[in-house]
Structure 1
Amino acid sequence: MFCKHAARKRINIVAAAFVAAAAFAIPGHASAQAADSYPSKPIRLIIPYPPGGATDVIGRIVGQRLSEEIGGQVVIENRGGAGGNIGAAEVARAQPDGYTLLMGALTSHSVMATLEKDTIPYDLRKDFAPVGVVGFVPLVAVVNPKLPIKSLSELVSYAKANPGKLNFASSGAGAPQRMAMELFKQIAGVKIEHVAYRGSGPAMTDLVGGQVETMTETVPAAISFIKSGQLRPLAVLTPQRVSMLPDIPTAEEQGFSGFNVSSLFGVMAPAGTPAPIVAKLNKALTTALAKDDAKAQLLQQGVYADALDVEASKARLNAEIEQWAKVIRDGGITVN
C-alpha cells in the first residue's frame, strides 16, 4: 500500500509540474506574466521630430505623465528626419516588448501612408500596434483680412467669381494643413492653388503679407495672428467649437458637412507587442490624461486631451488613413 501510494503521489507531482510548464508555454499566459512585471527597465519614447516642435512638447508631457502612472522611467529620445519617417521606422523595427514606443503625429503619418507609400520604410497598419490616442490640436481656416471674405460660403463664392486668383499656403506638401484645404476644395467644388512652404512660420508670414490669400492652420500657431487682427478666422474645423476661439463657428455650423480636421496625436508600439502590455500601457495613459492637471498642461500647448482605449484608437487611426487616402486619390494629389 505504501509503495502504491508513493507512486501515485510521484505521478501527481509530475503531472502538476507538466501542467504548470505547459501553462507557461502558452503565449497568452507568458504575455500575462510579462505584463505583471512590466516595466522592469526604462521605456524609450521615440519622438520622430527634432526638439522644440509640437510633437516633442506633447511627447514630453505624455512621457512624464505615463512614467508617473505606470511606475517606471520613460526616456525621451528625439529621432528627427525625413518628415518623421526615420523615428517611426526605428520603432517599427524595434523588439516588440513594450520598451520602445512612438509618440506619433497620427494625422501626418496617416497622410504619408498613402502620399508616400512607395518610399516610407514601414506600413502604418501592419508594423504598429496603437497604444492609445492622446488628443488633438484643432485647425482653423483663415484669410488675409484685406479680402472681402468673412465665412466659408463667402470664400467659395469669391473663389468661383475669381478663378485662378486664389492661392492657399501650407506648412508642407504632405502636411495636415494642406490636406484640410484639399478636403475643403473637394467638398465645396472650388479651385484654389497650393503653395507649399517650409513650415508654418513662413507660410503665415506670406499670408499676412498678402502673397497668398488663405490657409488652414493649427489654432495654437494662428491664434496670435487672429487676436492681433492680422488674420481673419472663418471657421474652426472641429465638430464643436473650441475654448481657445469660442466665438468662431465650426465648418459644420456653416453647412460644410464633413469638413472636420484636427491634428491627431497618439502613442504606438511595434506590431507584435503582447496585448496585455499594450493594455497596461493604455490604462496608464488614459488614467494619467483623465486628470484635470494633465488636461490643463496639454491645453496650454493647444492640445485637447482625448485619450481613447485600444480598440477605439485602432478605429480612429484606420479612419484617418482611409479619409486621407480618399482625399489624395480623388484629388490626384502628389507629394511634389
Structure 2
Amino acid sequence: MFRLATVFFVSIWVGAAFAQAPQSGSSYPSRPIRLIVHFPPGGSTDTVSRIFGPVLAERLGKPVIVDNRPGGNGVIGAEIAAKSAPDGHTLFVASASVLVLNPILRQNLPYDPLRDFVPITRLVTSPFIVAINPSLIPAASVRELIAAVKAKPGQVAFASGGNGSAMHLAGELFRLLAGLEMIHVPYKGNGPAMADLAGGQVPMAFVDLGSTSAFSKSGRVRILAIAASQRTTLAPELPTAAESGLPNWEALGWYGLVAPAGTPADIINRVNTEMIAILKLPEIRARIVATGSEPAPNTPGEFDGYIKSEIGKWTKVIKEAGIKVE
C-alpha cells in the first residue's frame, strides 16, 4: 500500500513538473501565437507584422494574432512581452528604441533587453537620411552641407522625429563626425518634421527614407545621402554618406523578433528558420520593400551580437552629445 502511494505521488509530481516546464519544439506550437507589436495599427511596423504573420501561421500550423500594445515609447508592449510565459506562444516585434535606446536614455525601465528577451532574428532595416530645404541651404552634397553649416556655427537647426529618437541620434552622430555646432529641433514624429522642412521652417532634417518620398518628389526637399555603408535597393540613386563627403556615418532604423527569456532554444531556432525562409520569399520581400524597409534576417546569435554592438555604439554617441530625455 505504501509503495503504491509513493508511486502515485511521484507520478503526480513528475506530471506537474512537465506541465510547468517550457514547451519543447517537438510539440510547438500547441495553441495560437500572440505577436505583440508596440506600435498602433497602420504604421510600417504593424504592416510588416501583418505581412509575415499569416505566412508564419501557415508554416507553424497555428494562428498568429497581432496584438498592438502602443504607448510609453514601446515600454508598455515590452513589459507585457517580458512578463509572458517563455513557451514560444508570445513573440515580440521590438524596435531599436525598445532594445537599445530606452535602456540607455531612460531610468527605471520595467524590463532589461539583455536579461528579459532572447533574440530570434532581425526583421528589417531602413537607412536614415539627411535632407535639406534647397531654398535655405543650396547644397548638392554632404560635403557642401558641412561647409555651409561650418560657416554659421551654432546657427543652423536640424529637425528630427523626437528628442532621443533614433533619428535624433543619427543627427548627433552626423554632427560629431563632421565637427559641427547645430541646434536640434525635436518634433512629434517624422511627418511634422518633414512638413516644416518642406515649408522652410527648418533648413535640414534627419529622418527615415520612407518619410521623405512625397516631399522629395515635389522638389521642396532634397535628400543628400543615406546613413549606410552601401546604397539601398529602396533608392539606389541616393549616394552613401561616404560617397557624398562624410565617411562612417551609418545609422539604420531596424526592428526584430524576440521572445521572453527562458524560451527553449529549439523553439527559438524553429521560429528563426521559418522567418528567414519567409523573408526570402519574393512576394513577401516585395510587399515589405513597398513599406520603405528591406528584409534583413539573421541568426539568433548574429542578432544578439548586433543588439549589443548597437548598445555600445549609441551609448558612446549619447554620452558625447550630452543627450538627456526628461
What does 1:1-336 align with in structure 2 at a 5 Å threshold? 34-107=24-97, 109-116=99-106, 118-146=107-135, 147-336=137-326
Q: Distance in 1 between matches of 2:234 and 2:52?
A: 21
**Greater mean deviation of Cα atoms: 240-249 or 300-309:** 240-249
SS at match of 1:212: coil
Q: CA deviation at 1:255?
A: 4.3
Question: Are 1:107 and 1:320, in contact at CA under 8 Å, matched by a contact in 2?
Answer: no
Q: Does the 8 Å contact 1:239/1:252 carry over to 2?
A: yes
Counterparts of 1:144 and 1:252, CA distance in 2: 21
In 2, Cα distance between the equivalents of 1:207 and 1:323? 28
Shift of residue 231 of structure 1?
Answer: 0.4
> What's the CA shift for 1:108?
5.2
How far the C-alpha of 1:89 sits from its partner, in A, is: 0.8
Report how many residues are paired. Answer: 311
The runs of 5 or more residues in structure 2 that have no matched partner are: 1-13
CA distance in 1, matches of 2:110, 2:73: 12
Local SS of the residue matching 1:131 = strand
Structure 2-normalised TM-score? 0.90
Q: Which residue of 2 aligns with 1:4?
A: none
Aligned-partner residue type, residue 270 of structure 2: K
Q: Which runs of 4+ in 1 moved over 6 A?
A: none
The structural deviation recorded for 1:107 is 4.8
Deviations 1:92-145 (A, max 9, x none): 1111111111111125531112011x1321111111101110111122110011
TM-score by length of 1: 0.88
Structure having the higher Rg: 1
Q: 2:108 is paired with a residue of what secondary structure?
A: coil
Q: Contact 2:56–2:274 (CA<8 Å) still a contact in 1?
A: yes
How far is 1:69 from its partner? Answer: 2.3
Task: Give, as a single letter, the amino acid of the residue that structure 1 aligns with 2:92.
Answer: L
3-state secondary structure, aligned to 1:252: helix
Q: Report the identity percentage.
A: 38
Deviations 1:17-45 (A, max 9, x none): xxxxx9xx89xxx86x7211100100100
Q: Please, which runs of 5 or more residues in structure 1 have no aligned partner?
A: 1-21
Letter in 2 for 1:295: R
Contact 1:180 1:261 in 2 (8 A): yes
Q: Structure 2 vs 1, CA of residues 65 and 238 (structure 1 numbering), >3 Å: closer, same or farther?
A: farther
Q: Equivalent residue of 1:75, what SS?
A: strand
On the 8 A contact 1:169/1:203 being kept in 2, the answer is: yes
Q: Deviations over 1:61-87 (max 9, x none)?
A: 232232122222101011111111100
Whole-angstrom distance in 2 between the partners of 1:288 and 1:243: 19
List per-residue Cα deviations over 1:248-300 (Å, max 9, x = no partner): 11012234222111111111101111111111111111111111111111101
SS in 2 for 1:142: strand
Counterpart CA distance in 2 for 1:195 and 1:89 is: 30
Is contact 2:234-2:289 (8 Å) kept? no
